[in-house]
Chains A and B, each alone.
Chain A
Amino acid sequence: MTLNPSPSNSCRFGGCTLTGALSVTSHVRDAVSVVHGPKGCTHHNFSLLHATALDNDVVHIPEMFSTGLAETEIIFGGEEALDRTLRSVSRLDPAAVFVLSTCAVETIGDDVRMVCSVPRGIPVIPVPTAGFLGGPFQEGVNNALIALAGMAGPAVANGGVNIIGEKNLEYEVNENFAEVVRLLDALGLPVNIRFVHDLNMDQLPRLGAAQLNILRDPALVPVGTYLCQRFGTPYIPSFPLGLSGSITFMESVAGACALDCRDATEKERALQEEMFCDFADLAGYTICVNPAVTDPDGLRKVLEVADALKLDITPSGCPVPLPPDPPVGIMGMRRMLHRWRRALHA
């Protein structure tokens, strides 16, 4: 379990469309990302991705290049600069090149797609990411996932399950993944690929082989829909969140894969009971939560846990921290309860 603090006002997902797309493309480990714009767009995002990875105890240098546009390219168009950069990047022989656009090039109307369509012997994948068009971080994530999925062809079914759109910048990305794996394992389902987390391009052809896609959260529904149309793979719209959410998740997965989950859900309920015993010392405390920091649905998942532990919630209670996203599975709830215990015993 990560010992990192999890500040509830973390703004890791509030950034630019470009940052969202890079949080995906930089996780295709044998690909490179070319940011078509002034060099600052690359620099700031490189710093953010690098620092975030370090914070998550991952030493990884994102492979990013800038087309380094300056005033001359803004006046005369930046297509030549992009072509030049793609030619030099191709010589590094990456497994794929993502080309991400920026505000400046979308404003002057560079035809990024046309430059990307020139054959270069490696896949060149354009992702529209100009932040000023109003798309949030999540739109960049979705655009990048859909662009990459468009590179995968049909595949022979292998019975596995894909994990779609993990929040690569969140502190608990691997812990949350581990919870999903645990629940899938209880149902006898293997993970096919993590799309996209620590992915290599040679795994991509397996994207369409899964029998089910599990989305990190409902904001990824456009990606789920796209994958369903392209490969016919159904999707579950969210990770297992909180108590009843985890059980519902297992039932939905089992339903989609035509499995009997009664034993597995019984065992999960038993594990949840065990968790209640471990945190029984919290019973009877009065707490208060700041509902502004999480969405109403996420708040319900949290209040359900508080109820089950017989905590009283009143505005005058002891303030307890809420995770920026609702807790995933038992480990997520345990992390949250540990923090509550610290706050209550402080």
Chain B
Amino acid sequence: MKQIALYGKGGIGKSTTSANLSAALSLQGLDILQIGCDPKRDSTRMLMHGNFIPTVLDLLRERGEAALSINDVVHTGFNGIRCVEAGGPEPGVGCAGRGIIATFQILEKFGALSGDVIVYDVLGDVVCGGFAMPMREGYAQEIYLVTSGELMSLYAANNICKAIRRLSMRAKSRCHLAGVICNAKNEPREEDLVAEFARRVNSALVQFIPRDHIVQIAELNRKTVIEYDPGCPQAERYRELAARVMENTRFTVPTPLEIHDLESLAIEFM
């Protein structure tokens, strides 16, 4: 079983990338589980045709752990992909990080973490130990960074490298950096910049996904690009990504950059 996690700055397109990646993998005949680890709970929405599925934490709060079963938390979407949303507290209260930890405990208890590939789609940044949970305890072993060529996005990706490096030093840890996915803003020389960033943090660019209006159109139709227009060039990009993820064998301990190195890198490609 392959377990991968996508991390990156908020709004960079992790959920879109995750959902299209899951859709493409499922079309290879693989059994896929996608877990949204974000209180916004919209990771799996396009796989569920626009429906928000009940989250593990909402169910936990409303019914209590004893009354829950695996069928309450795992919902089947496009092409048999099993979807889970961790959920979380209302914005501004409680502790979402602890919620992620509780979700993993429940999924473990139900034996829900199974299939050929598990895709973890994780909120913005590794803000605390809770949001590092997918990388801890041997869950996600292959971490993909989703970033554009914008400095703030690279900065977030670089911070996630710090978390991966820290966690990969633990004795029991099996988490490594598996690569960088450039979800482009279509800035000049963006692919070169992100490829160079990936190289400097001891990794590689695994896929360049250009900005394409088809993504918005598909989402307005409550579908992934793979489902909405499988023949379009963007869908082919996601299928390439899926193929590269399955073939990938280069898993590294990242070497995060100092902030001034990151800035001068961005200036080089301006």
Contacts and interface: CB of A to CB of B under 8 A. Distances in A.
Interface stretch (B90-98, B162-170, B229-237): B90-98
A72 interface: yes
Contacts of B96: 75
Mostly helix, strand, loop or mixed at chain A's interface? Answer: helix
A232 interface: no
A74 interface: yes
Contact of A77 (B57, B93, B102): B93
B266 interface: no
A78 B61 CA distance: 12
B95 A74 contact: yes
A147 B98 CA distance: 32
Interface residues of B, number: 13
Contacts of A109: 93
B102 A71 contact: yes
Contact of B89 (A71, A77, A107): A77
- Most chain A CB within a 10 A radius of its CB, from B60, B90, B95, B102: B95
A135 B138 CA distance: 38
Interface in A71-97: 71-79
B57 A75 contact: yes
Interface string B142-171: 000000000000000000000000000000
A54 interface: no
A108 interface: yes
Interface in B10-45: none
B94 A77 contact: yes
Interface of B: 57, 60-61, 88-90, 93-96, 98-99, 102
B263 to A, nearest CB: 33
6 contacts: A75-B89, A76-B90, A107-B95, A108-B93, A108-B94, A110-B93
B109 to A, nearest CB: 14
A71 B94 contact: no
Contacts of A78: 94
A61 B130 CA distance: 40
Interface string A103-115: 0000111100000
Contacts of B98: 71, 74-75, 108
Nearest to A111: B93
Contacts of B88: 75
Question: Lowest 7 CB-CB distances: which A-B pairs, in order?
Answer: A77-B93, A77-B94, A75-B99, A108-B95, A76-B89, A76-B94, A75-B98
Contacts of A77: 89-90, 93-94
Contacts of A108: 93-95, 98
A72 B95 contact: no
A74 B102 CA distance: 11
Nearest to A109: B93
Interface in A101-148: 107-110
A63 to B, nearest CB: 29
A72 B90 CA distance: 13
Contacts of A72: 60-61
A77 B94 CA distance: 4
A109 B89 CA distance: 13
Nearest to A110: B93
A79 B90 CA distance: 12
Nearest to A107: B95
Nearest to B105: A71
A76 B61 CA distance: 8
B269 to A, nearest CB: 40
A78 B98 CA distance: 13
Given A75-B99, A76-B90, 18 more contacts: A71-B102, A72-B61, A73-B94, A74-B94, A74-B95, A75-B89, A75-B95, A75-B96, A75-B98, A76-B57, A76-B94, A77-B90, A77-B93, A77-B94, A78-B94, A108-B93, A108-B94, A108-B98
Nearest to B97: A75
Interface in A21-51: none
- Most chain B CB within a 10 A radius of its CB, from A72, A78, A109, A110: A72
A295 to B, nearest CB: 40
- Most chain B CB within a 10 A radius of its CB, from A71, A72, A75, A109: A75
A110 B88 CA distance: 16
Nearest to A71: B102
Contacts of A76: 57, 61, 89-90, 93-94, 99
Contacts of B60: 72
Contacts of A71: 98, 102
Nearest to A73: B94
Contacts of B93: 76-77, 79, 108-110
A73 B93 CA distance: 10
Contacts of A74: 94-95, 98
Contacts of B95: 74-75, 107-108
A43 B237 CA distance: 59
A77 B102 CA distance: 14
